[in-house]
Structure formats: structure tokens, C-alpha cells
Homo-oligomer: A and B are copies of this chain.
Amino acid sequence: MYRNDGFRELNRQESLSRLAQVTVGRIVHTRDALPAVLPVNFLLEESGAVLLRTSASSELVRAVDGAVVAFEADEVDVAAQSGWSVVVTGSASVVTDPDEHERLVRTGPRSWVPWPVEVFVRIEPELVTGRELVGGRTCYGVSLPS
């Protein structure tokens, strides 16, 4: 969260409520020492953890398993110049418990692309931040110098 940039901060509960409204976000991580970002569909758990389902052999899994990552989702209305953005930051790890994996096969997020061997990746909600802009031009354009 950046202060003094004209946006309203959302608290943890407001942030998670917005995150629960969408099904696609972006996992932000480091790959070969460079910043990397990849859109993925996800499921939000009650704890605020973000759950992804992907190929066991994917480079994404190798890049994020055991690392601290950020997961971002947003909704932006370009015409109204309004929107929100939520970021969950925390450790990502592959679900290795067989019973939990079995349960998530039934209850977890669905893959958009089926893979022969899938794994679930959970991002712990160690830090949850959000920001909202309600009608940027109309709200802020009047009283501030242009």
C-alpha cells in the first residue's frame, strides 16, 4: 500500500471480501532473478489463503514453492476511472499431504487447462492490503490543482 496517492486503503476484511468476488488474479514472483507475473484462476479459502491448481511439472511451481510471493486481483472501470486492487503477500507452498490433496481435487479451484499431474499451491495471507479509487476524476479533480 502506497500512502498519499489519492486512493482509499481497504482493511483486511474489505480486501478479502473484494477478492472473493473474482476468480482470476496474478501471481507475482521472482524468476531467474527478474520480476515475473502470471494470471491464474484461484479459489479464496476462508482463512484468506489463495489456492491455485496447476501442473506438477510447471516452471511456476518450481519458481514459487517455498518462496514469498504476492497475489494480486483487481477490478477497474476505465470509463469511470474507478476500481479496486487487493494484494495478498505470503509464503507459497505445494500441498503435499495426500488426504488434503484428495479433498482439494474435489473442492479446490478447477483448472482451465487439464494436466496429467496437478498440484495445489497455497499462498498464506501473511499480509493483505487493498486500495480503492471511487471515480478518480470526479472525486479528486475538483479540489486539487491539476
Q: Spell out A's residues near B (CB within 8 Å).
A: 2-7, 23-24, 26, 28-30, 34-39, 41, 54-55, 57-60, 68-70, 72, 74, 76, 78, 81, 83, 85, 87, 89, 112-116, 127, 133, 136-137, 140-141, 144-146
Contacts and interface: CB of A to CB of B under 8 A. Distances in A.
A34 B76 CA distance: 24
A41 B80 CA distance: 13
Given A28-B28, A37-B72, A114-B145, 6 more contacts: A2-B38, A4-B58, A24-B78, A26-B26, A35-B68, A113-B133
Contacts of A5: 54-55, 58-60, 113
Contact of A37 (B6, B26, B68, B83): B26
